[in-house]
Structure 1
Amino acid sequence: MKVAGLIARDELRLMGRNRVAVIAFVLVVLLTLVAVASSWAHQRGIADLRARHAEAAEAAFKAQPDRHPHRVVHYGTFIFRPLGPLAAFDPGVDAFTGNSMFLEGHRQNTANFGDVRQSSLLVRFGQLTPAFVLQVVAPLLLIFLGYGALARETERGTLRLLMLQGAGRGQVVGGKLLALGVAALLAGLPAMLGLVAISTQPGAQALPMLTLALGNAGYLALWAVLILLVSALVRRSRDALLALVALWAVAVVLVPRVAPDVASAAIPLTNRFQTEVAVARDLRTMGDSHNPDDPHFARFKQLVLDRYAVTKVEDLPINYKGALAIEGERMTSSLFDRYSNASYAAQSRQNELVETAGLLSPAIALRSLSMAAAGTDLAGHQRFLAQAEAHRYALVQRLNRLQMEDVSYTNDIAADAGADRRKRIGAQNWQAMPDFRFVAPDGRTLAADALPDLAIVLGWLLGAVALLALATRRLGARQ
């Protein structure tokens, strides 16, 4: 252990003498600090902006005057997706999926106003966040720091000299690995400090943060081991550098970019226009509430009359038009749910296919882990959509029930000059409507969602360590 420590100290001293490496290291540290500060400020600004817009939308909805409940159904309201504290570390898919929705009756709208649709195309190539720096930039820095750690000793003939002086192969590799591990620790430290700072925000949860820290630590350790593995397998430093840069380009850049395209081609999604056409077609086959001869609604009408033991809708103790609106919304919402669930299932299959590529690229596994722990992955977006739809349906049905119970059928079908005023009900009814509040998953759920990807990263690390152990046995044999 003492020999390994001496080798590690000598390796660190050699790294310190390399001005290019030192400058690159300082730049990466500064870049990480800038990423932490800018991402945190951006996240806080977005959170405040969405909170203000949500408050304004709620105030506008409740400020409506006395009116017919069905007009309020079509007036609708906007809701906004809130961001959790860890979105400052990894914003995930938020820039692509949209952050607001318009809720109204008879329609299930999608999220809109994603940053990618409103900003430069450069947003598509990765935002400057702590997660991006750790996943993409830090491994490249480690490559330039450690590519020659073992190849240099072989190339110069000093490896055999070290072994003749009593240093074992394992001690040499252990010392080099310790030095590169210290460099990886220092490279990742600013991002981890940013993660600690995030923990001071309200709503921060310990388990997801620990999962993030463990995943990123395992990822950087993996690159340290891979760098030494390649450096041990080649005889020249130049060859080690070329091989490692090629490995980085494939694992960090190429595979993560190609995998989503492959998933999209393998599992195509219907676009919004196609979905709306299909929904409109199915709505025509389900029944028309405005057609008295429609079979479904004729049966529904008879069921309502039988329930109250009357023969005409005018004799019902409720407003039949309100009951009809409730039934129509139930039917259309079930149809919307069927199409949205099919879309969610296809998106999830695409996502699973991309995550399977994590077996080929640990960068994909770490990215999926990071988004899952931060709650900014596809599953997090689908949670928002599901809660938004549940709120929309409850709000519309509550308004339809007000029409059924508080507006008489006689006034509802009247067309005289004063009919419009008689159909109105008090504004206190919308003022009493509950506001939308997104319920974020607990820390245990977020950490559990990230565990499969954490297992992939750690599996990569164990495999690389095993290969390095085999390469260590042959180290210096061909010198």
Structure 2
Amino acid sequence: MTQIIKNEWTNLVRNRTALWLLGILVVLSGFTIGQAAGRFKKTLEHRNEATELMRSRFTGQGEVNPHSAAHYGHFVYKPLTFLSVLDEGVNPFSGVSLYLEGHRQNEALFSPSQQSSSSVRFGLLRLNLILQMLLPLFILFVCHNAISREREEQTLSMNLAQGITLRDLVWAKIMAYSLVWWVLLALILGGVWLITPAENAAVTGARIAGLFLTYGIYYFVITGVAVYLSARSKSSGNALLTLLALWVLTTVILPKATANIGDNSHSLISRLELEERISEDNKNGLDGHDPRNERTVRFRDSLMTHYGVDTVSKLPVNIDGLTMQADEEYHNIVYDKHFEGVRQTVRQQNSVTAWSSWINPFAALRNLSMSLAGTDVYHHFDFVTQAEDYRRVIIKKMNDEQAYGGSKTGEWDWTVKADFWEKIADFTYVPLSFGQALKNNLPEAGGLLFWLLLVCALIHFTVNKIKTAG
């Protein structure tokens, strides 16, 4: 087997067309990594500047009424993951900032795709495009005649006459080619690792290892399929046409089809309809700005009963702050109800693509790549959730200060001390762990392993039954 592997490497080196194409892929990968790293650095600088500016404005509000500050609001920004250099995932289409304010939950704003022309958005060469589509296409081009070439040259029977089985020959050629792809993949991912900022090294290292395993298995699977079909085909041309048809089917047609199926079977409601439903439910709750609201009146009466007083003026707390917080908590319940419904619909849509991994390994590769790079929709949901939790914390601190900080009910010109804002911690996003990221994509991981086992079983149990003559 070792000699066959060496022979395949020799033939690959002698194939000038393959070497040129391989060289182009390497150059393109290096260029793309450099360009992506430059965009990452520039974007990170802008993001850090914006974060520092918003923080300085928040802490520098001075002596203002806390509820006025709640309406003034605060911006937080989604942290960048360095592995977006490798796979940007949904980042170009999801918002990068959230406006946090009282009584209202906002969606993420200012996605990069909104700020670029269509020619720029679709003209960028991305590393995931090379690794997921161009390199597999190159693999098919190289491997399509791995066995059929020997049949056409009438050397296959001679090689088998020396005592080696067709199964051993197929396995040797698969390993010969796979080792080349794994070395190339290691060089590309190693290049990403070398330019990773030191503060991201621990997280990035584990995820790069996961990405190497994911892409390595995928390349092994398509190499196995290509060599197997080459062994079954009567001519190299037939093998190449079949493989190109499979490439189009798995990378273009099936992903579009499954996405459409998911969208049609689990349709999202419109933004307008969502806001109408939220507004309708909010009408049934407290209104912190309307003291005559029925539920507000009941809340006020319950507070007076609790403190044993008969008028609001005798309350030892500012009822305005408490009413605002009660209003806020009711809005939170409404928000959680409706937005969890939206997220559940998105999960159901994505589940169609996820389970399609069992019939299309490309779907598994694409989803696992985004997940391990920290750029899939679940990472975006996690950021929005943590930002919303932070919004609730700072709004509650403002309302509590209004209620218990020494102001009287109706005293809307009362202000906090200037150092109050410094005591509120800044927003810090805690990214999903490697295990949490993988947990969100268990169907894809299972699908990729299924294809690995299927290809191995197909070769092991059926290759020796293929006719080698003619």
Please name the residue that 1:295 is paired with: 294
Does the Cα contact within 8 Å between 1:85 and 1:201 map onto a contact in 2?
no
- The whole-number CA distance in structure 1 between the counterparts of 2:236 and 2:363 is 28
Structure 1, residues 157-204: CA drift from partner, whole Å, max 9, x if none?
221122234333233223322332233224323322124325663233
- The whole-number CA distance in structure 2 between the counterparts of 1:158 and 1:147 is 17
- The whole-number CA distance in structure 2 between the counterparts of 1:117 and 1:260 is 22
- Amino acid in structure 2 at the alignment position of 1:156: E
Match of 2:379, SS state, is helix
Determine which of 448, 457, 470 is the counterpart of 1:457: 448
Does the Cα contact within 8 Å between 1:177 and 1:225 map onto a contact in 2?
yes
Cα distance change on mapping 1:383 and 1:123 into 2, 3 Å:
farther
Structure 1, residues 331-370: CA drift from partner, whole Å, max 9, x if none?
1121112111111111111111111111121111011112
Please name the residue that 1:365 is paired with: 364
What's the TM-score once normalised by structure 1's chain length? 0.92
What's the TM-score once normalised by structure 2's chain length? 0.93
Please name the residue that 1:91 is paired with: 88
- The whole-number CA distance in structure 2 between the counterparts of 1:123 and 1:170 is 48
> How many angstroms does 1:60 deviate by?
1.1
Cα distance change on mapping 1:165 and 1:406 into 2, 3 Å:
closer
Question: What pairs up with 1:238-317 in 2 under 5 angstroms?
Answer: 238-317=237-316
- The whole-number CA distance in structure 2 between the counterparts of 1:200 and 1:78 is 25
> How many angstroms does 1:452 deviate by?
4.3
1:430 counterpart = 2:421? yes
Question: What pairs up with 1:149-160 in 2 under 5 angstroms?
Answer: 149-160=146-157
Does the Cα contact within 8 Å between 2:288 and 2:323 map onto a contact in 1?
yes
- The whole-number CA distance in structure 2 between the counterparts of 1:333 and 1:355 is 31
Please name the residue that 1:76 is paired with: 73
- Amino acid in structure 2 at the alignment position of 1:46: T
Cα distance change on mapping 1:125 and 1:355 into 2, 3 Å:
farther
1:33 counterpart = 2:30? yes
Determine which of 8, 30, 44 is the counterpart of 1:47: 44
Cα distance change on mapping 1:238 and 1:122 into 2, 3 Å:
farther
Structure 1, residues 279-303: CA drift from partner, whole Å, max 9, x if none?
1111222244455553322221111
Cα distance change on mapping 1:225 and 1:119 into 2, 3 Å:
same
Extract unaligned runs of 5+ from structure 2: none
Extract unaligned runs of 5+ from structure 1: 414-419
- The whole-number CA distance in structure 2 between the counterparts of 1:195 and 1:450 is 23
Please name the residue that 2:128 is paired with: 131
1:342 counterpart = 2:333? no
> How many angstroms does 1:264 deviate by?
1.2
1:66 counterpart = 2:69? no
Q: Which moved more, 1:346-355 or 1:183-192?
A: 183-192
- Amino acid in structure 2 at the alignment position of 1:229: Y
> How many angstroms does 1:56 deviate by?
0.6
Q: Which moved more, 1:366-375 or 1:116-125?
A: 116-125
- Amino acid in structure 2 at the alignment position of 1:445: Q
- The whole-number CA distance in structure 2 between the counterparts of 1:373 and 1:436 is 24
Please name the residue that 1:417 is paired with: none
1:188 counterpart = 2:179? no
Match of 2:452, SS state, is helix
> How many angstroms does 1:276 deviate by?
1.1
- The whole-number CA distance in structure 2 between the counterparts of 1:126 and 1:452 is 32
Does the Cα contact within 8 Å between 2:285 and 2:327 map onto a contact in 1?
no
- The whole-number CA distance in structure 2 between the counterparts of 1:124 and 1:460 is 33
Matched-pair identity in %? 28
